[in-house]
Chains A and B, each alone.
Chain A
Amino acid sequence: MSRRQGLFRGVWLAMGIFVAACVTVNIYFPAAEVQKAADQIVEEVSKEPASSEPEKGPSPSQSLREDVLVWVARLLVPPAEAAVDIEVSTPAIRALKKSMKKRFAMLKPYYVRGVVGENNRGYLEIRDSASLSLKEKARLKSLVKDENRDRRALYEEIIRANKMDAKVLPQVEGLFANSWREKRARPGWWIQSDDGTWVQK
């Protein structure tokens, strides 16, 4: 190998390393944290409506003694700094969750009958509405449209609240798709696999 060829190779190698260094910059996306948050939210909005529970927490009539104890405890043990955790609460997120939770009771019969299913993109989909009357179809279309509008808004709010790039929406949708299929769908309900096929859970 001539000296000139060696130099040429060296330059190429250096350029290769430089390019590799340029393209291996990682942009951190907290997938595990978002997945955890998605699981929590989906579980919360998929609960059966229960009788109203009394609010927990310190009552207005908490005694002075209890106050002193808590006060001293807080002085001695300051609350731990928040670890890496995705913040998932804003007024918009709370309102969207409330609306979705309320809608779940109306959607449930359609899940059970196999009319709707959870797709692999994080949204609800009408699978087979042939058995429904036109009036029921209208009602279901409204429910599904509203549900998917709220889901999209929820994903966008989570991204905004966490100051993430709007481009991560497909990733957030994908993680929520896991949660809807895992946490909301019950045995016998329809879910879409990652390869696109519809199966009964």
Chain B
Amino acid sequence: MGVSLPLRWRGKQREGWIRVAFRRGRFSNPEETLLGEGLEGVLRVGGRNLGVEGGDFKAELSVSGGELLLDRWYLKLEPPPLRIHTQGKWRKGRGVQDFQLELDWGDSLRLSVEGALENFGDGPVGRIHFILGVPSLSSLFQHHLLPSLTDLDPRWVDARVEGTVRCEGEVRLNGRNGGVLRGEWNMEGVSFATPDGPELAGVSGRIPFLLPLGEVGKGKAPTLAEALDGEIRIERIEVGGQRWEDIRLPLRARWNALEIRNAVEIPLFGGMVRMEGVHLGPFLPLPPDGTGRLLLKGIRLEEITRDLPTGAVKGTIQGEIVPWVLKDGDLQSRGELRVSLWGGEVRVLRLWGERLFSERRRLGMDLEIHHLDLEEATQQLPFGRMGGVLEGEVRDLVFSFGQPESFELRVRSVHEKGVRQYIDAKAVENFSILSSGVRTPLLPWFKIYPYSRLGIYCKLENDVFILRGTIQEGGKEYLIKRGWLRGINVINRNPQNRIPWRDMLRRIQRMFAGEGQKVRIQMGGAP
């Protein structure tokens, strides 16, 4: 590291200046969470009217090259240089007055701070006004963030970010009582896109904030009754083939909270999602808690399921999640969603989520199955043909990492006048493959068999399936019980069956093996 230290001192004005020019400079904090290497630049520090009672200080730093490591974020400093200029008046016992700081990093980042702070002993007291600007998000992203991001995940290389962002606000500090951070983010023409991911275009507007500083306790009574209004406009969002245009979110910041002022309706899959009373707060400490109401109307199931290998399922989804409550990253809700399909209805109840803001999020729900027409269902599913009406429930259906983690299913047939209860040979064979892993050796003499009752219990826990019949008669356990005169029995000969996840996937593969390209099951997880 090369350093030159010319010192100038004028005794009469009590003025002194030190100029430090550095090359290949390096620094680090003890924890090595902040590191600098190969730094090139100039630091000029000095002041006037210097004495034991205080003085006017000034500092200028210009860094034209080098590398920085902020925790795990790597930054390569390239021209234009990073310039920091600060000045103020320090008076003993009165703190810092007329404090100013300017940071200029070309188009990437600009920060302007001014204010006064005093009484550092019991925590600072004072006011600071600040403006943080990103004149070009593209420049900040391309030059300073992308190298680190692509190192973490190469898919970032094709990401595109544009627009400008500006944050103006005020910090009021009140010693031990903490303080208030208030202001707003302004955005103009912000867009974000990745080649295969979501696209956000034309985001503009203002997001206000009114947040506590210092000790933050959730549930702490609001100390400020004021509210700041703002609005976000989004020209276009595209996610997974869905496209939304011209979305307006009227916002209101309250003490440590953010609300959507009015109800917002968003078209989704041919229907409508209506959000009411959305309140995110307490906002700090993160993640924010929140509450609201969600209403779904006329969402078309065939649009959601159009890419299924079995073909789209016709039906609709509607209902109310009233209210949803978010606390410490976990979601609880009341209300129900009603999915109309295959001549019946599936009710989705007690939707919940755990660790929603982490990769390890889990989503859970209960399902009630009402009056499903088996003939209609099996015409679509390549399982084999069946007739009858099905009732049942799925308790504690939990998904994690995009896969079912656990559930407990009970279904049974219900007699309905005029509805024929039957099962074909292929469906019998598939039941056999699912429960025992092998095809039935009994060759079918008749293509269609009548049955009198169907009762199935299936449980998944810790990647192990249990498949049982719920009809107990004569010491046997039936999944399907034949009719009085003719028909077919499907009997579970192994009540202790425990089918590991991978075995079940293979069985499902075998079940659909005859379907050619129609159905493809992917083996999930590590081998």
Contacts and interface: CB of A to CB of B under 8 A. Distances in A.
A171 B138 CA distance: 48
A138 interface: yes
Nearest to A61: B513
Interface stretch (B15-23, B160-168, B316-324, B400-408): B400-408
Interface in A130-147: 133-135, 137-139, 141-142, 145
B67 interface: yes
B404 A91 contact: yes
Given A53-B527, A67-B441, A78-B494, A141 B72 contact: yes
A112 interface: no
Q: How large is the interface on B (under 10, 10 to 19, 20 to 34, 35 or more residues)?
A: 35 or more
A14 interface: no
A22 B19 CA distance: 73
Interface stretch (A82-90, A117-125, A173-181, A188-196): A82-90
A30 B290 CA distance: 40
Interface in B483-497: 493-494, 496-497
Given A71-B438, A74-B438, A138 B72 contact: yes
Nearest to A80: B496
A94 B35 contact: no
B479 to A, nearest CB: 16
A138 B151 contact: yes
A141 to B, nearest CB: 4
Contacts of A64: 439, 441
Contacts of A161: 462
B405 A92 contact: yes
A151 interface: no
A131 B212 CA distance: 43
A74 B494 contact: yes
Nearest to B498: A82
A43 interface: no
A101 B525 CA distance: 12
Interface in A55-94: 55, 57-58, 60-62, 64, 67-68, 70-71, 74-75, 78-79, 81-82, 87, 89-92, 94
B498 A75 contact: no
Contacts of B526: 44, 94, 97-98, 101
B494 A89 contact: no
A95 B501 CA distance: 14
Contact of B439 (A53, A67, A145): A67
Given A71-B441, A135-B67, A153-B360, A78 B496 contact: yes
A60 B513 contact: yes
Nearest to A141: B72
B151 A142 contact: yes
A133 to B, nearest CB: 8
A60 B510 contact: yes
Nearest to B37: A134
B97 interface: no
B69 interface: yes
B132 to A, nearest CB: 24
Contact of B403 (A58, A91, A134): A91
A47 to B, nearest CB: 10
Contacts of A92: 360, 362, 400-401, 405
A135 B151 contact: yes
Contact of A58 (B68, B401, B437, B462): B437
A94 B403 CA distance: 11
A123 B228 CA distance: 46
Nearest to A41: B526
B73 interface: yes
Interface of chain A: mostly helix, strand, loop or mixed: helix
A58 B69 contact: no
Most chain B beta-carbon neighbours within 10 Å: one of A44, A91, A97, A133:
A91
Contact of A141 (B68, B71, B404, B436): B71
Contacts of B462: 87, 89-90, 161
A100 to B, nearest CB: 9
A90 B405 contact: yes
Nearest to B69: A134
Which of A75, A90, A97, A141 has the most B CB atoms < 10 Å from its CB?
A90
B373 to A, nearest CB: 30
Interface string B281-315: 00000000000000000000000000000000000
B422 to A, nearest CB: 24
Interface in B423-461: 436-441
B101 interface: no
Contacts of B438: 67-68, 70-71, 74
Contacts of B402: 91
Contacts of A145: 72
B509 A60 contact: yes
B525 A137 contact: no
Nearest to B429: A67
Contacts of B147: 135
B510 A75 contact: no
A98 B399 CA distance: 18
Contact of A137 (B69, B403, B436, B506): B69
Contacts of B35: 134, 137
B464 interface: yes
B49 interface: no
Which 9 A-B residue pairs are closest in the complex by CB-CB distance? A94-B525, A60-B513, A138-B74, A89-B463, A91-B403, A95-B401, A141-B72, A87-B462, A68-B441
30 contacts: A55-B506, A58-B506, A60-B509, A60-B510, A60-B513, A62-B510, A64-B439, A67-B439, A70-B438, A71-B439, A74-B438, A75-B493, A78-B496, A79-B496, A79-B497, A87-B464, A89-B463, A89-B501, A90-B405, A90-B462, A90-B463, A91-B524, A92-B360, A94-B401, A94-B524, A129-B32, A134-B37, A138-B151, A142-B72, A161-B462
Given A60-B509, A90-B463, A92-B362, 10 more contacts: A58-B437, A75-B493, A78-B496, A90-B405, A91-B463, A95-B401, A101-B526, A129-B32, A137-B69, A157-B360
